[in-house]
Amino acid sequence: MPPDFEQLLRELHATLKLRKRPEDVAQLIQDLYAARGVSLDPATEAALAKAAEHSLTRLWHGYTSMLEGFAQPVGAQRQLSCAERLFASVTDLPVGAADDPGQIEAVIRRAGQEICRAYGENDFGRDRLDRAGRAEAGLGELSKRQYNKRFRLLCRMEAKLARLIHEQRRHEVTVTGKGAFAHTLPYELFAADQDTAAFVAYVTARGYMRSVFTNGRQRRVYDEVADALYGRLRAQPEQTRWYVVAQVHPTADVLARLSDDELDQLLTRWTRFLREVAGLLEDAWDRCPLERDTMIVRRGNDSSTWNQAAQAWNTARAHWLALLTELERTDVLDRICPGKVPRLMAADVAYWHRRSKGGLHPDTYVWAELPLPWEVLRGEKECPRRGIRTGGRPGPAVLTCALLLPLRWLVLDRLAEATEATAHWVVCDHHAITTVESGRLPANRGEDPHRAGIGRAPAAWWCIFSRRPRGAARRGRWTILTV
């Protein structure tokens, strides 16, 4: 492997833990192929050239004011430095001890033995030793002021340790919610195939992009550059490391190329991560319950933690459902099928959506009807696949019509293996929603389902008809949206 090529490959691998702009990653991919002397097909070359046109290396100022990395938790450097001055047993701490919760806890326990304090005894009025207690413990030479100083430091260190563990969990959840498990890929596995490395690095960079303040849709991760790079993987399936690709792109085409052991490994990993994120969501909920009907942030809500955990939950849930489908274990969804978790929205953004006739996202209405996800995972509440379709309640309706709001469009998850008895067309006419037990998919997007007649609906799809937006052509017609 040429030195320049390996250096570029290591730089590309480093971007999995950074927050580089997709344009800069595209430039790295171009340089990587050029260093290896690879001749790209015209589609890939044109897509990469278009993306790399605005990379920092091609701009006259050559820098960005945006942070090129995720915010890291602040360690306990100050607390450990103070502990080294006050406690004789705290010496020669290894490098990185301030960021290691295990080593910080060991320091707290070791230092606590010097003043006869057990780990967890943090009550300043009840757990401190009085003069007689200090004398009995052999601390008679230590003044009350010096004893209190050490006691307070250990109490603060325990509080800092709890915050550090929480922030490290939140950092891991944030990165995984943006780029799945790409940041955990070892270099040897990542560098085994250059085309795989290029695709994973670019898709991860797209996933790491910051959200845009808008009342419309966010930018999609999979764009024309990702599609061109994925085309190279499909052209050489024997060389592609599909297990690496599945970390960030769990489509049916990718998962079908994995072995059962690899699928089980990914399923176990994502299930464990779902439980971890559910715990983080529950902590944020217990500190200050949210307004489920609107998901508008209120005073006291930890919106940062909730929104980061919500994105991670939805990412993990999408991977989890894809893996269950590929393993043909969708019977699990008949017992446990937690729904999506919406983010908290600022009141001004919600007002902007209403003014632009967007309203609340339909997922918010479904979320309000379903049990909380951590209760579902613990088995305290039932939420089968059928409950997602019915908005958490039995019966044929996908959503109740008690919303009393004009619905422009409605999106529900596509869940496989729906029975014909529960496959409906949901017809949305201004404020009214009615259901039909079965229906035929219209041939054209503008075809009126009533004029087309009623036939049989495809059981694996949920569809909805909605009136055209105001001012659009053919106002009296219906538009079909399928998911």
pLDDT, residue 419, reads 31
Per-residue pLDDT tens for 15-30? 999 999 999 999 999 9
Across 172-176, 193-197, 389-393, least confident range: 389-393
User: Using 50, 70 and 90 to split pLDDT, how confident is the model at 387?
Assistant: low
414 with 470, same domain: the answer is yes
Are residues 366 and 425 located together in one domain of the fold?
Answer: no
| 306 occurs within a structural domain | yes
Question: Average pLDDT, whole number, for the chain?
Answer: 80
State residue 389's pLDDT score: 57
Q: Rounded to whole angstroms, how far apart are CA atoms 52 and 57? A: 9
210 in a structural domain: no
Structural domain includes residue 88: yes
pLDDT for position 268: 95
Residues 358 and 294 in one domain: yes
Q: How many domains does the chain contain in total? A: 3
pLDDT tens-digit readout, 434-483: 333 333 333 443 433 333 333 333 333 333 333 333 333 332 333 333 32
**Average of pLDDT values for 199-218?**
89
Reported as a single tens digit per residue, the pLDDT across 257-280 is 999 999 999 999 999 999 999 999
Instruction: Give tens-digit pLDDT for 326-366.
Output: 999 988 988 888 999 999 998 888 888 888 877 788 888 88
Residue that wins the pLDDT comparison between 75 and 464: 75
- Percent of the chain past pLDDT 90, that is, above it, reads 56
Is 426 a domain residue? Answer: yes
φ/ψ of 179, rounded to 5, equals -125, 20
In this predicted model, which residue has the larger pLDDT, 303 or 406?
303
CA distances from 465 to 354, 361, 404, 436, 474 (A): 21, 17, 17, 12, 15
**376 plus 447 within the same structural domain:** no
Confidence of residue 384 (pLDDT cuts 50, 70, 90): confident
- Residue 418 has a pLDDT of 33
Q: Is residue 243 part of a domain?
A: no
Whether 384 and 437 share a structural domain: no
Q: Are residues 386 and 433 both part of a single domain?
A: no
d(CA 229, CA 222): 11
Return the residue matching tokens 């469009």.
409
Bigger pLDDT: 389 vs 315: 315
pLDDT value of position 104: 96
Shared domain for 384 and 432, answered yes or no, is: no
Residues with Cβ < 8 Å from 462, sequence gap 6 or more? 389, 398, 412, 414, 415, 418, 423, 424, 426, 482, 483
Instruction: For residue 481, report the phi and psi dihedrals to the nearest 5 degrees.
Output: -125, 125
Same domain, 367 and 439: no
CA distance 359 to 215: 10
Considering the domain architecture, whether residues 458 and 483 belong to the same structural domain is answered as: yes
Q: How would you label 328-338 residue by residue, b for 16+ Cβ within 10 Å and e otherwise? A: eebeebeeebb
Domain check: are 269 and 383 in the same one?
A: yes
Domain assignment present for 456: yes
Its domain, for residue 469, covers: 406-483
Band the pLDDT of 160: cuts 50, 70, 90: very high
